[in-house]
Structure 1
Amino acid sequence: MLHRVSLPLAFVLFLVASTQAEIKPEVILEGLKCPSGVAVQPETGTVFVAETAASQVIRVVDGKAEVVVKDFPADEYGKGPVYQIGPLGLAFLDKNRLVVGDGSLKDGEEVIRIFDVPENGKEALAADAGQKTNPLAAEGDIPGEGNFYGVAIDAGEIYTTANGDDKKGWVARVTVDKEKVGKLERFIATKESVNVDAPAAIAISPRREVVVGQMGEINDQKDSLLTFYDQKSKSLLLSLPAEVFDLVGLAFSPKTGRLYAVDYSWADPKQGGLYRLDAVRRDGKQVVKATKLLDLDQPTALAFNNEGELFITLFGNGDGKDESKTPATGKLLKIGEGL
């Protein structure tokens, strides 16, 4: 049941969708091994990518990939196909500190890792070189969790989606005070709130709500939800159908405040894409209008830079284990200003 509260401001501002010019993405990197996360470094604008099947984090330097953090452990995810996974979600605490959501260990062992990134051209860090949180502890009959797919930052608070448990589907939180990393704890049991599986996407709205995309079942139904939570009370402010298949990434444009999303569409990757999510009224009720802006094959994450350019990772069809049979086809795209 929806709480009767005012609609989040960043969502209210765009009740009427405007016409978008034709979008022509530029391929920045290709041949990546299942990229799953993307973040833009503050002040420098450098783009970082979690290349999960390669067990590393890279950045774009002069149009080429440079390894920043390497040698993450490797876990496996999926059933036919099975993918190797390592680092997942990315976000920056500040200019120098990169937060990495872990997918490289077994559920109950995975952590959030924080790295002081080296300057361009310097030797890559080992995955164990950074600070790390505790794993999420078991809670009663609920085991510890992992697969920290999405990461979002607000004023020293790190929020992450945890996909290791289908019973409650958690958002977890940890506070970082200067150099001290606090305890990683369960924050919101999202499935209990909305009765839909798999929190994946996460962002902080301009009004500082925690915005979560519930992916739903991996089938051909558009059952994803767009949800808003209050940071202090943890209460659900708003939950609406997102009109997409599998919502895995969210980002607010720094120029317009508009909300954008990527849909992975597990059951039929050809249906995936980039969407703008607008608030409209339909039959007197508040709903989400999902406007598809671009067809994309298996998009996994998106992030804006300060100029309003948008970067999107595409998972691709091979993890690169045997390049002769399944060459890695993951990509990093850039869309110019204007969103």
Structure 2
Amino acid sequence: MLCRFVLPLSFVLLLAVSANAEIKPEVILEGLKCPTGVAVQPETGIVYVSESAASQIIRVVDGKAEVAIKEFPHDEYGKGPTYLMGPLGLAFMDKDHLVVGDGSLKDGEEVVRVYHVDEIGKDGIKADMGKQTNPLKPSDDVPGEGNFYGVAIDQDAIYVTSNGDDKKGWVARCPLEMDGLGELTRYIPTKEMVDVDAPAAIVISPRREIVVGQMGEISEAKDSLLTFYDQKSKKLLLSLTTDMHDIVGLAYSPKTGRLYAVDYSWADPKQGGLYRLDAIRRDGKQAIKATKLVDLDQPTAMAFNADGELYITEFANGDGKAEGKEPATGKLLKIGEGL
């Protein structure tokens, strides 16, 4: 039995009263080079994965990977090891349109790309064939920004987390207009509002709040925040500590309404995993409890299909070469219904 309780703000979590059964992820694909995003096409259930270091987006058809979008440019990320970085976050706008957050260009040049998936044949299409937004413009002391790690879409707009060289960290917004894409602009200065670095995960709640996982410093343990913002006013509704290291993915189950997160855990990869986030009261105040459900090897993204099956990408050893290992060990995993 699952119980909801009314919260003072429109904050959507569920209170758990029973434990999950043991979870055993199924490996769908392996040998991936820095997988960083995953999305499930509505109606068809076809899974798309951004294989960032391979500069491509692949999709799973009849259990096998095929290249869907190829020949992205590439940038580099990190300071020992460094990784090639191409497409990042993925989300479907509707059945026909895939939205891709860019990591393939220099900060200040990166864009959000949109592809009509019906135009993708068996040999795939080139990255420059999609529509794209403008880059984020520099202003005052804020440089041009990039690294659009997370993507979330509501009926009026595309939202992306922007976490490149800009020390503030932003949620950027692109309105959806009758004739296409509007201007991509900085929308919510998340670091400025919560004084924690690195917005990464983003999702729209069932009540249409913007929900952001503020990753925090990669060298610090358990400093990630879960934050809720009003879409129109941009007001911070709620900011909660999580006892998680580096939240990089968030998703609501379409079957139960529960909120789940994946923790990359940069400083200690052995702590990475899938978590369920449950509403609780702590010292009389609204809080959450993060319950670890399964250990994962540096998970990077997550997405449910309509049946409640959960797909997760694991970064693992990145592109293999960075760790002196061959081949790369990134994976696409699936967890069955029940979450």
Q: TM-score, normalised by structure 1?
A: 0.95
Residue identity in the other structure for 1:237? L
In the alignment, the residues of structure 2 paired with residue 80 and residue 174 of structure 1 have an alpha-carbon distance, to the nearest angstrom, of 34
Q: CA RMSD in A?
A: 1.6
In the alignment, the residues of structure 1 paired with residue 269 and residue 322 of structure 2 have an alpha-carbon distance, to the nearest angstrom, of 22
Task: State the partner residue of 2:123.
Answer: 123
Residue identity in the other structure for 2:129? A
In the alignment of these two chains, the number of paired residues is 333
Task: State the partner residue of 1:162.
Answer: 162
Cα drift, residue 285 of structure 1: 1.5
Task: State the partner residue of 2:196.
Answer: 196
Residue 270 of structure 1 aligns to a residue whose secondary structure is: helix
In the alignment, the residues of structure 2 paired with residue 290 and residue 233 of structure 1 have an alpha-carbon distance, to the nearest angstrom, of 28
Contact kept, 8 Å, 2:144 with 2:166, in 1: the verdict is no
In the alignment, the residues of structure 2 paired with residue 192 and residue 101 of structure 1 have an alpha-carbon distance, to the nearest angstrom, of 22
Task: State the partner residue of 1:299.
Answer: 299
Cα distance 1:46–1:268, how it changes in 2: closer, same or farther (>3 A)?
same
In the alignment, the residues of structure 2 paired with residue 195 and residue 323 of structure 1 have an alpha-carbon distance, to the nearest angstrom, of 33
Which runs of 5 or more residues in structure 1 are unaligned? none
Name the % identity.
73
Residue 98 of structure 2 aligns to a residue whose secondary structure is: strand
Task: State the partner residue of 2:226.
Answer: 226
Task: State the partner residue of 1:6.
Answer: 8
What are the equivalent positions in structure 2 for 1:103-182 lying under 5 Å apart?
Answer: 103-118=103-118, 122-182=122-182
In the alignment, the residues of structure 2 paired with residue 284 and residue 10 of structure 1 have an alpha-carbon distance, to the nearest angstrom, of 18
In the alignment, the residues of structure 1 paired with residue 70 and residue 93 of structure 2 have an alpha-carbon distance, to the nearest angstrom, of 20
Contact kept, 8 Å, 1:33 with 1:316, in 2: the verdict is no
Residue identity in the other structure for 2:10? P
Cα drift, residue 59 of structure 1: 0.4
What are the equivalent positions in structure 2 for 1:33-52 lying under 5 Å apart?
Answer: 33-52=33-52
Cα drift, residue 284 of structure 1: 1.2
Residue 193 of structure 2 aligns to a residue whose secondary structure is: helix
Contact kept, 8 Å, 1:93 with 1:156, in 2: the verdict is no
Contact kept, 8 Å, 2:273 with 2:292, in 1: the verdict is yes
Residue 10 of structure 1 aligns to a residue whose secondary structure is: coil
Contact kept, 8 Å, 1:243 with 1:288, in 2: the verdict is no
- The reply to whether residue 266 of structure 1 matches residue 280 of structure 2 is no
Contact kept, 8 Å, 1:118 with 1:124, in 2: the verdict is no
In the alignment, the residues of structure 2 paired with residue 229 and residue 43 of structure 1 have an alpha-carbon distance, to the nearest angstrom, of 30
Residue 270 of structure 2 aligns to a residue whose secondary structure is: helix
Contact kept, 8 Å, 2:82 with 2:322, in 1: the verdict is no
Of the structure 1 ranges 115-124 and 261-270, higher mean CA displacement relative to structure 2 is found in 115-124
Task: State the partner residue of 1:332.
Answer: 332
Residue identity in the other structure for 1:10? V
Residue 118 of structure 1 aligns to a residue whose secondary structure is: helix
Show CA shifts across 1:143-179 (max 9, x none).
1100000000000410000001443210000012245
- The reply to whether residue 208 of structure 1 matches residue 208 of structure 2 is yes
Task: State the partner residue of 2:4.
Answer: none
Task: State the partner residue of 1:217.
Answer: 217
Contact kept, 8 Å, 2:219 with 2:267, in 1: the verdict is yes
Residue identity in the other structure for 1:60? V
Residue 12 of structure 2 aligns to a residue whose secondary structure is: helix
In the alignment, the residues of structure 1 paired with residue 116 and residue 246 of structure 2 have an alpha-carbon distance, to the nearest angstrom, of 33
Task: State the partner residue of 1:100.
Answer: 100
Which runs of 5 or more residues in structure 2 are unaligned? 1-6
Residue identity in the other structure for 2:275? Y
Q: TM-score, normalised by structure 2?
A: 0.95
Cα drift, residue 8 of structure 1: 2.5
Task: State the partner residue of 1:57.
Answer: 57
Contact kept, 8 Å, 1:175 with 1:183, in 2: the verdict is yes
- The reply to whether residue 70 of structure 1 matches residue 70 of structure 2 is yes
In the alignment, the residues of structure 2 paired with residue 256 and residue 200 of structure 1 have an alpha-carbon distance, to the nearest angstrom, of 24
What are the equivalent positions in structure 2 for 1:300-315 lying under 5 Å apart?
Answer: 300-315=300-315
Show CA shifts across 1:235-256 (max 9, x none).
0000000210000000000001
In the alignment, the residues of structure 1 paired with residue 120 and residue 137 of structure 2 have an alpha-carbon distance, to the nearest angstrom, of 37
In the alignment, the residues of structure 2 paired with residue 318 and residue 262 of structure 1 have an alpha-carbon distance, to the nearest angstrom, of 17
- The reply to whether residue 247 of structure 1 matches residue 247 of structure 2 is yes
Show CA shifts across 1:236-295 (max 9, x none).
000000210000000000001100000000001010000000110112121110000000
Of the structure 1 ranges 160-169 and 28-37, higher mean CA displacement relative to structure 2 is found in 160-169
Contact kept, 8 Å, 2:163 with 2:199, in 1: the verdict is yes
In the alignment, the residues of structure 2 paired with residue 293 and residue 320 of structure 1 have an alpha-carbon distance, to the nearest angstrom, of 27
In the alignment, the residues of structure 2 paired with residue 119 and residue 44 of structure 1 have an alpha-carbon distance, to the nearest angstrom, of 15
In the alignment, the residues of structure 2 paired with residue 217 and residue 325 of structure 1 have an alpha-carbon distance, to the nearest angstrom, of 27
Cα distance 1:297–1:325, how it changes in 2: closer, same or farther (>3 A)?
closer
Cα distance 1:113–1:120, how it changes in 2: closer, same or farther (>3 A)?
closer
Residue 175 of structure 1 aligns to a residue whose secondary structure is: strand
In the alignment, the residues of structure 2 paired with residue 120 and residue 287 of structure 1 have an alpha-carbon distance, to the nearest angstrom, of 45
